[in-house]
Structure 1
């Protein structure tokens, strides 16, 4: 083999030397004037692409330097595998060999990814259908595919590329993937901890060694990004408890030879626990030292807490910003006494210069119109920079519910020292919602409720909703539309159009029907940034078609209703979907002052979310309602409150609590539930992460206690007659939308109550 290899090297060197000697006469040419330029070897590339890259034109003087520049420029296009120049008299011939183009990209053996996801990843490294191809590109594509699998903890994945030539100098690429098994974390060790147990610290992590819910959380799959996030959580935990000099010394991640098991070791240095000895203000505070002192969260005599320090610095910066000082510098400088384990802080402030906002830019809104975002701004262009107004603007945009992320960046205007531009960056989310609710009982069988809603129709910020109830006994069609900016001052307007019918529950041939067509209009007037007052009017015509099984209470309820409404709402919960803290209040009233009915109806709802720890939340809900007839008339039965089921007292069938009415013509004393003029509901929930799901807020379980009842207008509120239940439930923000289950056990019930222990609601986004 060695003599053969030596001979082969000799042949190669000889060929290279011969090529160089043959090329020398071609380059060693005297300058001359080009009379023509021809291109040979093109198949797909346009001749104009070649001519545009040449550093000379017909009529120009040709030199060896220009020839070298031409070859470099053509190779730089990335379209050719070979480029040569030939000179025939005064004519230059450019001979090229095109690189093959990619005709098709396919995958074999992939299960973990969708093919389109992988094609998008390869497109980012330059490999896509229609683009030029070379071996180096295929190698980069293989590495990118392996990287995608490594991100999913599939370290054993193997990729083999097959290149198949096709017609017209094109190639087909097939990536054959052997995925292998997922590498899972088998061990997480924390070394160097003294103050806290290893189990306590590991509970802070999202990564874990697996459990029965790992199929959902995938927390036992190693990810560098997840590990970094866990290390930050660990660091924050120590820094919030006085360990000023805490450090993560190193992390080691080891993988088994078969690439199936992983071990993570974290070495930490806790340091000593420090107590704050004093806090002093230094620097320029605009003559408002007392106001700034009131913003200090750091307390002398208490353990050092990095969160208090960060909170104080932010409060100072924001307060400077409220006076137009967008670039104020605030530093919390520690003076550490390691002998006594004490630390003193000097809060040094330099306001810098006052600026005003030149321009507000909006980015990321591919669907939502600019004006929908801009009208929520309370910071105006050409006005002094005000951090309070900017923060309020950001919150108002976020509360629209159209975006998953909202950020505002401040950028200095080049060439000036007193102007800034604000850039609002949003990430849009689906704003449509399709909801389905279901229940099952012996009387009602399976009933379905569906609604389709779009909160941002055509990016206009307007709301459009359609509610349908397909129950055999209570059907409804409701169409609603809301313009949140009916006026430039933010007054909203809502139109409602509905048609509702009620039929008997009894399956023994009842055929009565109550039909209620109606329309309504409501307006919402913002009195403050957090308080809105609503008022509106409506009209409906109730038709009672008498028949078998008609409740006596419904007999005289037909006629014209002209309701007028007024209400108030305040909501400062941290999230409408998975709240953990904050409060919601609603107060609504309805008056029947015209038509055939005179009545008043008042409802009040109070919700409070109290965070117990980072993982656990206590929630409390109260709903009170009262109705009364006016002008000597009774309260209309069709305006009654209903109790029982989800949103009320779980464990009892929907709408079955409270007074009943005898059925006309019944010989068995049959009665039906008709609701009541007074409603009381109390709900309490303890919310926690689902076992095995770690800190995932999208999957939580809850234990609840419900109590409540509905009373007639002439009844006194008797708490001894209240129904109550206890139970557990599951709340999951699934990939297809919100889902909620409840399993309840009535602990206070009475004869005749209709029990429904299992209930659920499903919602999905599109």
Structure 2
């Protein structure tokens, strides 16, 4: 709440003694000033409208006193004479040595200091004690406006040596007055309950409704009255009025009783709609697009929308300051109203200059290339809003806004000023982290999304966690050309231990190099192309049945324990669409991403993978404190072509994985999906002592506790993003809290379910159909995401709603350094 501006009461005190009455004027031959400490004699003389040689009289004495008080350096002035010598004795105002605030919870120290600064009360300045009462009363008025009628504020001045003082503002805020009852008098069309539901202020809320606002606040009361008025006006009650509102208080000032007296009136319908004024030849188009129609109930909301729509429509053509006024002609006899929308487009406005402020790191040209509104062109509100959204989507921008500034003497020109608040665009990491899934991790690297303020991305990272060690160097120029074509490349190396990542045991070493470029289709859509060379060495794993066909093709029968080595060239085609309002922690808009990657025919492995991801953010309030996120992700991969007469398959080390903070929370990372199946022949001893191998239908079958992954995946989630408790509003863009429901599954379309129908494993459990997409998992809970100095952190408390035997579930998980 904005503090009420403190008004300084200027007191011209005549506390100086006048010169003894004389029968005649005298000429000043000398001036003596006594009592100066901090103020220099020369400075004091400059404040005086009297100098040696002037004649003194009663008028000049009063003039001198006023001038010295106006300098704000003195709190007492005495004037006398010794013959023709003018003697001025002063007591300087004390200097403020320190300012302290005590017991202020509802008002931040920064807000208090700003209010004092506005009144020139700051450390090092002289203290004018006459304004302290005004400061106290102004602060009390603020507390009264938020319902704290027992609040008290005291300004305590403590003298110090050398004419200095300590100033302490001591607060006794007390408790806010609770609303005990709200009465509505005069309503017959709508019940009290219906009208009270429109109000933010409430009374008698149950204990579990901790979000209910039961404290009386004057500003919120005004807003609630307007909401009730709009409720009636939007339903045709054009003559509705709020006749009076009485607010009474209990004797101890702890309770408030509110009574509203209203007159509902009759419902009115629209009898005609006319557009008048200069419509620039768009009258027919506007009539067709407006929501107002003859015969429908009058609605203030639709009238307001029509006015705003016309203004925005004309703003597209440079008429940025058009005004639209609705003139109602009310017929109380038949309860109809004729609406005339008077349009004044004003002058067509041209943009002279676009400037940026607040950007201390990023160059203006980085933001300027995101602009759709150009200098020298007609001003378009649509293009300005689109430009603002493009800048907001940059990951190194926390927030931005713009204003149009009229140019004096140029009625048809404006300047546009963008104010940008940057956020850290990169980091230097060298430390130790820990995650439930990753265990101990060592990190070192540099990552910069806004390298040297150019908007280019550069990263060098070395990471080691329990199951993976990797090193990557990458570079991307998002504006390789002025048309927005991006170009990037990367070099990478990785060692992966699948057993430590909750997968079946195998190890792989990979190094490669890749390049990519992107092409913008329009404002929201972009396509990307990439080509990556990868050299991969995979150690052999156990002979799981799901891997048998793959190993039969690529393993060396003469040396089955040898590692498999592959060289592949992978081409990718991607589509990306985004209307998100921010690059980090968005609250509105949507994002869709689809990627098709496939190895080239000359590669050792021939396979393809398709992945689609979509997110929709729906803000639930105007300030975007509450939002709903709906997300979904689908993936599928398989081989293509044949080798040595066998169909190519998706390599098991390219399988999708599910479970964890980025898919289905409440399940350990990479634990959802098919388990490994091992089978061995069963033997018996014959009558003659020989060993007899039984037919395959009698094989011993066992399943692993670890997953293999799968070639098909589907994950979805619904999240309610809520304000983070106990966190100040300034940190909304770095901390996010949400209530979630996650659903997902991972399966293998190549699994031969018929071969295992009815069979049991070593524990007597029936083997699951790992090709069945309907065996989904589900969880719910709360998640907190924090962009900490050491990297992104995710904390999740989960309750599993649906699981299967053998699933590894977690109530609490946290991870450091993962992306969102």
- 2:663 is matched with 648
1:587–1:723 Cα change, 3 Å: same
Which of residues 562, 573, 580 in structure 2 aligns to 1:566? Answer: 573
1:467–1:242 Cα change, 3 Å: farther
- 2:186 is matched with 192
Answer yes or no: is 1:710 the counterpart of 2:747.
yes
1:738–1:100 Cα change, 3 Å: same
1:660–1:687 Cα change, 3 Å: same
Answer yes or no: is 1:602 the counterpart of 2:621.
no
1:517–1:130 Cα change, 3 Å: farther
Answer yes or no: is 1:589 the counterpart of 2:596.
yes
User: How far apart, in 2, do the equivalents of 1:675 and 1:98 lie?
Assistant: 82
Which of residues 671, 676, 685 in structure 1 aligns to 2:710? Answer: 676
Contact 1:585/1:606 (CA < 8 Å) preserved in 2? yes
1:536–1:52 Cα change, 3 Å: farther
- 1:621 is matched with 632
Contact 1:585/1:605 (CA < 8 Å) preserved in 2? yes
1:541–1:243 Cα change, 3 Å: farther
| Bigger Cα displacement from structure 2, 661-670 vs 539-548 | 661-670
User: How far apart, in 1, do the equivalents of 2:441 and 2:587 lie?
Assistant: 30
Alignment of 1:747-762 (within 5 A): 747=802, 749=804, 752-756=806-810
Q: TM-score, normalised by structure 2?
A: 0.74
User: How far apart, in 1, do the equivalents of 2:119 and 2:40 lie?
Assistant: 25
Question: Helix, strand or coil for the counterpart of 2:162?
Answer: helix
Contact 1:525/1:534 (CA < 8 Å) preserved in 2? yes
Q: Deviations over 1:168-218 (max 9, x none)?
A: 111123344444334333333444333333333333333333554676x47
Q: Deviations over 1:255-287 (max 9, x none)?
A: 333232333444433332223333233333223
- 2:689 is matched with none
User: How far apart, in 1, do the equivalents of 2:736 and 2:185 lie?
Assistant: 31
Question: Helix, strand or coil for the counterpart of 2:390?
Answer: helix
Contact 2:99/2:168 (CA < 8 Å) preserved in 1? yes
| Bigger Cα displacement from structure 2, 624-633 vs 134-143 | 624-633
Contact 1:86/1:92 (CA < 8 Å) preserved in 2? yes
1:686–1:605 Cα change, 3 Å: closer
Which of residues 235, 240, 252 in structure 2 aligns to 1:258? Answer: 252
Question: Helix, strand or coil for the counterpart of 2:275?
Answer: strand
RMSD: 5.0
Structure 1 residue 167, shift from structure 2 partner: 0.9
1:140–1:348 Cα change, 3 Å: closer
Contact 2:393/2:584 (CA < 8 Å) preserved in 1? no
- 2:653 is matched with 638
Structure 1 residue 526, shift from structure 2 partner: 2.0
1:343–1:46 Cα change, 3 Å: same
Contact 1:512/1:549 (CA < 8 Å) preserved in 2? no
1:573–1:394 Cα change, 3 Å: closer
Contact 2:780/2:798 (CA < 8 Å) preserved in 1? yes
- 1:9 is matched with none
Which of residues 26, 31, 38 in structure 2 aligns to 1:29? Answer: 26
Count of paired positions? 735
Structure 1 residue 296, shift from structure 2 partner: 1.1
Structure 1 residue 288, shift from structure 2 partner: 3.0
Structure 1 residue 468, shift from structure 2 partner: 9.0
Contact 1:433/1:453 (CA < 8 Å) preserved in 2? yes
Q: Deviations over 1:236-265 (max 9, x none)?
A: 333333333333333333333323233344
1:393–1:587 Cα change, 3 Å: same
User: How far apart, in 1, do the equivalents of 2:611 and 2:171 lie?
Assistant: 62
Answer yes or no: is 1:722 the counterpart of 2:729.
no
Answer yes or no: is 1:166 the counterpart of 2:160.
yes
Structure 1 residue 724, shift from structure 2 partner: 2.0
User: How far apart, in 2, do the equivalents of 1:341 and 1:452 lie?
Assistant: 71
Contact 1:731/1:738 (CA < 8 Å) preserved in 2? no
| Bigger Cα displacement from structure 2, 69-78 vs 608-617 | 608-617
1:163–1:23 Cα change, 3 Å: farther
User: How far apart, in 1, do the equivalents of 2:803 and 2:264 lie?
Assistant: 53
User: How far apart, in 1, do the equivalents of 2:212 and 2:794 lie?
Assistant: 20
User: How far apart, in 1, do the equivalents of 2:47 and 2:295 lie?
Assistant: 73
Contact 2:33/2:89 (CA < 8 Å) preserved in 1? yes
User: How far apart, in 2, do the equivalents of 1:455 and 1:186 lie?
Assistant: 54
Structure 1 residue 21, shift from structure 2 partner: 5.8
User: How far apart, in 1, do the equivalents of 2:428 and 2:197 lie?
Assistant: 36
User: How far apart, in 2, do the equivalents of 1:83 and 1:17 lie?
Assistant: 7
Structure 1 residue 531, shift from structure 2 partner: 0.9
Question: Helix, strand or coil for the counterpart of 2:190?
Answer: coil
Structure 1 residue 641, shift from structure 2 partner: 1.4
Alignment of 1:725-736 (within 5 A): 725-730=777-782
1:549–1:517 Cα change, 3 Å: farther
Contact 1:531/1:570 (CA < 8 Å) preserved in 2? yes
Structure 1 residue 619, shift from structure 2 partner: 3.5
| Bigger Cα displacement from structure 2, 660-669 vs 37-46 | 660-669
- 1:136 is matched with 130
Alignment of 1:505-520 (within 5 A): 505=499, 513-516=507-510, 520=514
Structure 1 residue 609, shift from structure 2 partner: 5.9
Contact 1:473/1:503 (CA < 8 Å) preserved in 2? yes
User: How far apart, in 1, do the equivalents of 2:294 and 2:433 lie?
Assistant: 55
Structure 1 residue 506, shift from structure 2 partner: 6.6
Contact 1:602/1:627 (CA < 8 Å) preserved in 2? no
Contact 1:149/1:157 (CA < 8 Å) preserved in 2? yes
1:358–1:574 Cα change, 3 Å: closer
User: How far apart, in 1, do the equivalents of 2:649 and 2:620 lie?
Assistant: 46
User: How far apart, in 2, do the equivalents of 1:439 and 1:515 lie?
Assistant: 23
| Bigger Cα displacement from structure 2, 524-533 vs 85-94 | 85-94
User: How far apart, in 1, do the equivalents of 2:231 and 2:818 lie?
Assistant: 36
Q: Deviations over 1:375-427 (max 9, x none)?
A: 32222222223333233223323433666665444444332343233343456
| Bigger Cα displacement from structure 2, 331-340 vs 589-598 | 589-598
Alignment of 1:8-407 (within 5 A): 19-20=17-18, 22=20, 24=22, 28-30=25-27, 39-55=33-49, 69-83=63-77, 95-109=89-103, 118-147=112-141, 149-150=143-144, 153-209=147-203, 210-212=205-207, 217=211, 219-363=213-357, 365=359, 369-400=363-394, 406-407=400-401
1:244–1:199 Cα change, 3 Å: same
1:420–1:626 Cα change, 3 Å: same
Contact 1:356/1:382 (CA < 8 Å) preserved in 2? yes
Contact 2:747/2:771 (CA < 8 Å) preserved in 1? no
Question: Helix, strand or coil for the counterpart of 2:317?
Answer: coil
Structure 1 residue 613, shift from structure 2 partner: 11
Question: Helix, strand or coil for the counterpart of 1:50?
Answer: helix
Alignment of 1:730-745 (within 5 A): 730=782, 741=796, 743-745=798-800
Question: Helix, strand or coil for the counterpart of 1:225?
Answer: helix
| Bigger Cα displacement from structure 2, 73-82 vs 144-153 | 144-153
- 1:6 is matched with none
1:309–1:657 Cα change, 3 Å: same
User: How far apart, in 2, do the equivalents of 1:233 and 1:387 lie?
Assistant: 28
